[in-house]
A and B are shown apart, each in its own frame.
Chain A
Amino acid sequence: MLTYIIRRIILAIPILLGVAIISFLLVYLAPGDPLAQFRVPNVRPEVLDRLAEIYGFNKPLPEQFIGWITNYVQVWNPDAWGLSITYRRPVLELIAERTPATLLLMGTSLALTVVIAVPLGMLAAVKQYSWADKIVTTFATIGYAMPSFVLGTFLLYIGAIWFRVFPFGGMTSSLRVESNPLDIAWHLALPVASLAIQSIAGWSRYIRASMLEVLHQDYIRTAKAKGLSANRVNFRHALRNALIPVVTLFGLSLPALIAGAVITETIFSWPGLGSFGVTAIGQRDYPVIMAFVLLGGIAVVIGNLVADILYGVVDPRIKY
């Protein structure tokens, strides 16, 4: 298992390198002068040349990339990912500060999704064509079709403006009560609902489809021919198999949730990575932008790895 994980990580290196190249090109090929903010009348030309030399802007592109990427892998060094132009602080530090908020948001909504979507999807599949199935399927279809910003806006209006039950945004009521869990939970409710409703919609559709496929398998007929009750057939024989593709979904939804966070965090001013990244684009904070792209790539690699490992856990046919 360990050798498998190591092999997978080694295989991921070229992909991450590719992501790094694209993120580098995205920023360096962008029109505009990275030193534009220093080109003001009282900055002497010599200073600009110095700056260009320090940042390596006067070197050819490949050389700049190699310099940048060698810095990048030295994550033990706080300056490895450069300094944020906006905050004048190490990017790594800023990212580390904002990660817990995102993980809290993601983790809560993912947990909620699993707890709600698995029974819903199963119910819809086992009682195919029933009213329960129709209700679940309709909910899932609409939830799936509703873009996250539309859903977020609706929830914000209903929860914070109409009923005035939930706060408008942010993670805490004031900076001082930062660690009060109840206050955080209160702020968490709307953004989590916004993310969870969407993923519940997607997951329950998926679980329903997976369950329906399993219910038509030969071994389900065998289980029935043994004289097992419908519950035993559904919960023991079918669910175990239907969940196999779902665990991969679990791993693969990690990056999707981060993408969802970009919008949801912005709507609810949640101080996580997503809103940080979007703000950075608005401020042309290039080191942060590049870090964010690479982080996205790392999330995908980790998500895939988690998916494959879980796959091996739930499916006895897979051995590493």
Chain B
Amino acid sequence: MADRTYDDVTQLPVDDTEDIDRTEVRSYWQLARRRFVRHRLAVIGAITLAVLIIAAAVVPLVVENATGVDINKSFAAAEIVDEEGNLVLALLGYSRTGINMFTQLMAATATSLMIGFAAVLIIVFIGVVIGAVAGYAGGWVDNLLMRVVDIALSMPGLFIIIAFVAFWGASIWTIILAIGITGWTTAARLVRAEFLSLREADYVQAARALGASPRRIILRHMLPPALAPIIVAASLGVADSVVLEAALSFLGFGIGAEQASLGTLLNVAFEYLNREPYLVLFPSIVLILIVLAANFLGDGMRDALDPRQRVEQQ
């Protein structure tokens, strides 16, 4: 064998630095971002969602009386500024009763998204706590909690939400609570599965052997790697929650016209389906856009953060 010296780490001849393997080594997050950006639909989804959120937040603020009725404006054409020079942003014109359809739509979108995101916060919180406890403790605790999940999964969800909201009075808060306390099962199962496998991971065993407290093990060593499926579930959860709230309001059990959501608009539109069918169109489109965007975003994030998990979400 020729007499050469080798680098200890790379095991390459030390005088060969000019042609070492220069394949870029990328970090997890770099790779994740690359995979996400390559997922064209996910990027479109993220942009759509961002535009909707900004429009929903800003439009009702900059336009005075965004959801008001002005019968003089019945069927008036689209305008951005009215005769008096006020900013009205009536991009979609006015309805028969003189409602500025665009600003009303954005105000409703704001309500829907607010409920969707707030419900997801509850869903993720309950799901993470129950899933983490079950997965970390294992044994009978896990068994018991999983039976609770089974029970929750066996309930007719939408029906329970309707009943709960009907009994306790329809408000944004009862709706958020109702969606939150019925929707956490998927998140709990994901976190539990992740924790069950992480529990046996060598580095967790090592942390335990070094005397780390359960709190530290859970928060520092087990929760971060479990984040990927939680983020994905949360983005899909936003779409689900928005749709659930819309269904509730559509059926007439949601919040009334005073703080209309997309579902409320559809409920009203359904009543006038015969005379004013156009009312159905825009709330429907926004609703579909939210669902599509959140799903694309979720798919993209799943591919980006967790390429192992290719299971098609139902």
A interface with B by C-beta (< 8 Å)? 14-16, 18-19, 22-23, 26-27, 30-32, 141-142, 144-150, 153-154, 156-157, 161, 202, 205-206, 209-210, 213, 249, 255, 258-259, 262-263, 266-267, 277-278, 281-282, 284, 289, 292-293, 295-297, 299-301
Contacts and interface: CB of A to CB of B under 8 A. Distances in A.
Contact of B277 (A27, A161, A282): A161
B125 interface: no
B168 interface: yes
B147 A150 contact: no
A83 to B, nearest CB: 19
A213 B312 CA distance: 11
Contacts of B104: none
A220 to B, nearest CB: 17
Contacts of A255: 154, 156
A15 B162 contact: no
Contacts of A281: 159, 162-163, 166, 253
B314 A202 contact: yes
B91 interface: no
A301 B292 contact: no
Interface of B is mostly: helix
A14 B147 contact: yes
A18 B280 CA distance: 40
A296 B247 contact: no
Which 10 A/B pairs are nearest by Cβ-Cβ distance? A296-B156, A18-B151, A30-B167, A209-B312, A145-B291, A300-B154, A297-B154, A145-B292, A150-B284, A149-B250
B236 to A, nearest CB: 11
B266 interface: yes
Where chain A touches its partner, the secondary structure class is helix
Given A149-B250, A255-B156, A296-B156, 12 more contacts: A15-B147, A18-B150, A141-B292, A145-B295, A147-B291, A149-B251, A153-B280, A157-B277, A255-B154, A266-B251, A293-B156, A293-B163
Contacts of A22: 151, 155, 160
A53 B153 CA distance: 35
Given A32-B167, A147-B291, A301 B154 contact: yes
Given A26-B164, A26-B167, A157-B273, A292 B159 contact: yes
A15 B292 contact: no
Contacts of B247: 147-149, 263
A151 to B, nearest CB: 9
A10 to B, nearest CB: 14
B158 interface: yes
B270 A153 contact: yes
A272 to B, nearest CB: 13
B243 interface: yes
Nearest to B284: A150
Contacts, number: 135
Contacts of A156: 273
8 contacts: A26-B163, A142-B288, A145-B291, A146-B291, A249-B314, A281-B163, A293-B160, A301-B154
A127 to B, nearest CB: 18
B287 interface: yes
A146 B277 CA distance: 18
A296 B251 contact: no
B148 interface: yes
Given A145-B292, A156-B273, A31 B167 contact: yes
Interface of B: 147-148, 150-151, 153-160, 162-164, 166-169, 239, 243, 246-247, 250-253, 266, 269-270, 273-274, 277, 280, 284, 287-288, 291-292, 295, 310, 312, 314
Contacts of A282: 166, 252-253
Contacts of B147: 14-15, 18
A111 B166 CA distance: 34
A262 B312 contact: no
A148 B253 CA distance: 17
A293 B295 contact: no
A206 B280 contact: no
A262 B159 contact: yes
A32 B167 CA distance: 8
Contact of A149 (B159, B162, B169, B266): B266
A30 to B, nearest CB: 4
A289 B147 CA distance: 23
Nearest to B285: A150
Given A147-B247, A149-B266, A157-B277, A258 B151 contact: no
Contacts of B166: 281-282, 284
Given A153-B273, A153-B284, A293-B155, A18 B160 contact: no
Given A281-B162, A289-B163, A161 B151 contact: no
Contacts of A258: 156
Nearest to B151: A18
A23 B155 CA distance: 9
Contacts of B153: 300
B159 A293 contact: yes
Contact of A259 (B151, B156, B312): B156
Nearest to B269: A153
B217 to A, nearest CB: 31
Nearest to B311: A209
A147 B151 contact: no
B50 to A, nearest CB: 18
Given A206-B314, A262-B159, A296-B155, A18 B148 contact: yes
Contacts of A32: 167
A296 B167 contact: no
B280 A147 contact: no
B282 to A, nearest CB: 12
A101 B9 CA distance: 73
B288 A145 contact: yes
